[in-house]
Amino acid sequence: MDLLHKFLNIVLLPITLTVLLLFMPPFLFLKFIWSLKRSIYRENVAAKVILITGASSGIGEYVAYEYAKRGARLALVARREDRLQAVADKARKLGSPEVVVVRADVSKVEECKQFVDEIVNYFGRLDHLVNNAGVAQIRLFEVFTQFSDIASVMDINFWGSVYSTHYAVPHLRKSKGKIVVIASTAAWLGTPGLSFYNASKAALISFFETLRTEFGQDIGITIVTPGIIESEMIQGFYQKEMTQGEFFSEVGFKKSILLII
């Protein structure tokens, strides 16, 4: 057995190095060219069906409006139906030919299955899934006494995207569609008081990077990592520490959305 191990160690190392040297550079180059092509030649989303979670405010709301301007048909999902209706009304005025709203909680797997099925049955297809729903709680780790208090952060931010993606994938394969994931720079920064939020965003990035490899070219995946954006979710969290000018401006963010879709 020792001889076998020695033999494998001697043989496998040069084979591995050869494979890396011969195949990795062209693979990475082709991957770069493909991503560059997708960036330059913007997809025509007119009449395509776009499902957006967490669409009642913030990033999800802005993304909905940009898709609407390009004539996409929208399915807006969130827990606050009244806010969804307001977003839907504006999206129609901006150019979306058809908008439906679905009240749902992405942290519940059965509701994710239900809204994906409902949307596909209504439109007959699904082209893009935008995993945007998210929450944040700012509190130092040692302050937590009941982990149930912060379970919703992982349940919504990570598992909500996993559930929605699971049920959307068969339909996205049919349409050669796309998944947009709204993560955050918080995944890398380790900001104090955001331990669970940071972890949820890091999990999103790792999970969807893996799916990108698994899906290949069948389903496109775009992972977005914005910084702190002035939105409803973070109102009050940083008001004492940051001035309005230190946030990523709403205008600047709206311009960056053009790169997402």
Contact between 250 and 230 (Cβ < 8 Å):
yes
Please state, as a whole number, how many other Cβ atoms lie within 10 Å of the Cβ of residue 220: 18
Chosen CATH of 48-260 out of 3.30.230.10, 3.40.50.720, 3.30.465.10, 3.90.1520.10? 3.40.50.720
Per-residue pLDDT of 205-239, as tens digits, reads 999 999 999 999 899 999 998 876 655 545 554 44
pTM for the whole structure:
0.78
Mean pLDDT computed over 81-107: 97
Q: What does pLDDT average to over the chain?
A: 84
Is 238 an active-site residue? no
Per-residue pLDDT of 244-253, as tens digits, reads 433 344 545 5
Q: Which of 62, 67, 163, 197 is catalytic?
A: 197
Contacts for 191-199 with beta carbons within 8 Å, 24 or more apart? 192/140, 193/138, 193/139, 193/140, 194/136, 194/138, 195/141, 196/137, 196/150, 196/153, 196/154, 197/136, 197/137, 197/138, 197/153, 197/157, 199/154
**Tokens at 109, concatenated:** 């797997």
Per-residue pLDDT of 13-64, as tens digits, reads 677 777 667 777 776 777 667 665 655 567 899 999 999 999 999 899 999 9
Q: Say which residue, 146 or 34, is predicted with more confidence.
A: 146
The predicted structure's pLDDT at residue 157: 95
d(CA 187, CA 117) in angstroms, rounded, equals 31
Domain boundaries, the chain: 48-260
Residue 2 binned pLDDT confidence (cut-offs 50, 70, 90): low
Please state, as a whole number, how many other Cβ atoms lie within 10 Å of the Cβ of residue 161: 29
Please state, as a whole number, how many other Cβ atoms lie within 10 Å of the Cβ of residue 122: 14
pLDDT at 123 over 70: yes
